[in-house]
Amino acid sequence: MMIPTPKTLRRKNFKHLQLDPHAQMPVADAPLSQDSLKPGVEFDVYPLQDELQVVAELGYGNGGTVYKVYHPPTNTYMAKKLINLESNMKVQKAIAQELETLRVCDSDFIVKYYGQIVEPKSVTICMEFMDCGSLDKIYKAIGPFPEDILASVNAAVVDGINYLKDLNITHRDLKPSNILVNSRGEIKLCDFGVSGVLIDSLAETFVGTSTYMSPERIKGSQYTAAGDVWSLGLVLVELALGRFPFASGDNNSVSPLSLFELLQRIVEEPPPSLPANFSDASKQFVQRCLMEAEKRMTPRELRNTSFYIMGKQNPGNLLEWAAKLPRV
């Protein structure tokens, strides 16, 4: 199935995939110039599934597998997420329509969307390739994040959340694996919940998503922006500790909890906190993210904190840090 293409676009009309010709592209002299689209470069063709050459598997999650792929006609690398779906044409059509929301996103803190391929039993989403990968893989490779880097990461995520909020979008699945980094020190959000139909069609994702779910959401309340703020607080603690905050056993154990144990701890126990050596500004920020929903900061209020300002003041630290990260 193909979303109709405006006749004003002077391109051969291939089936299955529509790439957004107006998506912003990385600057030409950036380190990623060979791994991403260049400015002003538009697709002369709409690639078919078999035109996307798989370079490597990047990971699996949220119901699908993510690959680094290469498209020879445009000399472009991108990330391709393949999601298996039920064979229901109404569901597929609804997903395709809702994913079009991605086209309006134009932010330095949101991964660029290039197009989609909808097939009988799957949907493929093509998006910007980020060559340092996701935050969960980064901290597992290099260890806990220092406070200055954590502050810069936080500032980028806060800006991304606020951008989505202005579009009346809540992320719904904020976690380290959905926050990506490239070697230019850019941090961007991906996999935000613009498609409720897609989320509902992937029932198995509840287990993974629930680990960052707010207490009120676990209890059955409707998802709001306050849920994204809770997830942000939990993500920051995880990056600072170098492990998921809720672990079982003794202090040195990182054994996973059962789903029931995890949900019970999130609802009943005090929320986790940053290590003692972190500043009061960072500790207070996380504490206010992990409060009860009615006391929690709003996305806009996150920008009025010392910790957010700290992260905006030293972008050079983030660039230097990112340049040393392993590539995916």
CB contact at 8 A, 141 and 54: no
**Is 81 within any annotated ligand binding site?**
yes
Nearest of 222, 214, 308 to residue 267 by alpha carbon? 214
Q: Which of 20, 159, 173, 191 is catalytic?
A: 173
**H or E segment and range at residue 18:** strand 17-19
Which of these is catalytic: 200, 228, 250, 280? 200
Residue 238 near residue 150, CB atoms below 8 Å:
no
Residue (of 45, 42, 41) closest to 15 by Cα position: 45
Q: Count CB atoms within 10 A of the CB of residue 148.
A: 15
Give the relative orientation of helices 225-241 and 135-142 as an angle to the nearest 10 degrees.
20
Please give the Cα distance from 319 to 188 (Å, whole number): 14
Can 29 be counted among the known catalytic residues? no
End-to-end, the C-alpha distance of the chain in Å comes to 32
CA 229 to each of CA 133, 176, 235, 264: distance values in angstroms, whole numbers, following the listed order = 23, 14, 10, 20
Known binding-site positions = 81
Known binding-site residues for ATP equal 81
**Catalytic residue positions?**
173, 200
